């Protein structure tokens, strides 16, 4: 299980669109106004999400599940266990439907919202003993749509550029400075 809070993300956008008041549709205009953004000016919209079945590369720190400690504390004190932040499949589907319906224009017909695809949760432990999450300060934590090999290749090129580019820029700057001093 991954706790994505605080992760640096590199995902492909699900929506990548430019809105203009003259050609924008009513749904997008309503969405902008609902979120306090003026629909009178052009806007660039990007939405990122992780969908079921997406292949991801996650780099983080494997730590003890902090939710288990709070549950154990509650049991020791005889208090009801707090909500762990997970919804049942039915509650998540209801929440999704309400969110979609809240974005509709007043008086517009209700869309046919398909039921969410059912996932077998019996074999999935919602409270595992360890969770992949943000580690101590400075440790890397990111979620990417690219493979580990693609990321390492890019980091190798970037490292080489930074290592060799710095001295080259320093020498070029020094040459320009000396050249300016000798000319004047």
CA quadruple 170, 171, 176, 178: dihedral positive or negative?
A: positive
Task: Note the pLDDT of residue 82.
Answer: 47
Nearest to residue 117, comparing CAs of 53, 47, 55, 56? 53
Strand partners, 44: 18
Nearest to residue 58, comparing CAs of 137, 106, 5? 5
Which pLDDT tens digit goes with each residue over 32-68? 777 777 878 888 888 888 877 888 999 899 988 877 6
Nearest to residue 12, comparing CAs of 115, 144, 177? 144
Task: Note the pLDDT of residue 69.
Answer: 61
Residue 89 has pLDDT above 80, yes or no: no
Q: Please indicate whether residue 85 or residue 171 has the higher confidence score (pLDDT).
A: 171
Q: Please indicate whether residue 22 or residue 140 has the higher confidence score (pLDDT).
A: 140
| Average pLDDT for the chain | 78
Going by pLDDT thresholds of 50, 70 and 90, the confidence category of residue 119 is low
Which pLDDT tens digit goes with each residue over 128-159? 888 888 888 878 888 999 998 998 898 899 99
| pTM for the structure as a whole | 0.55
Task: Note the pLDDT of residue 144.
Answer: 92
Nearest to residue 142, comparing CAs of 150, 154, 131, 133? 133
Going by pLDDT thresholds of 50, 70 and 90, the confidence category of residue 118 is low
């Amino acid at each position: 299980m991954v706790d994505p809070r605080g992760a640096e993300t590199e995902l492909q956008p699900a929506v990548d669109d430019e809105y203009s008041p003259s050609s924008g549709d009513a749904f997008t205009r309503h969405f902008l106004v609902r979120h306090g953004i003026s629909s009178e000016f052009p806007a660039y919209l990007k939405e990122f999400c992780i969908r079921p079945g997406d292949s991801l590369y996650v780099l983080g720190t494997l730590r003890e599940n902090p939710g288990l400690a709070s549950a154990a504390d509650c049991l020791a004190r005889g208090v009801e266990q707090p909500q762990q932040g997970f919804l049942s499949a039915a509650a998540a589907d209801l929440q999704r439907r309400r969110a979609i319906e809240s974005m509709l224009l007043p008086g517009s017909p209700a869309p046919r919202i398909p039921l969410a695809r059912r996932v077998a949760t019996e074999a999935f432990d919602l409270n595992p003993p360890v969770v992949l999450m943000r580690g101590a300060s400075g440790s890397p934590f990111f979620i990417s749509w690219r493979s580990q090999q693609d990321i390492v290749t890019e980091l190798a090129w970037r490292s080489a550029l930074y290592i060799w580019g710095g001295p080259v820029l320093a020498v070029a700057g020094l040459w320009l400075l000396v050249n300016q001093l000798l000319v004047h």
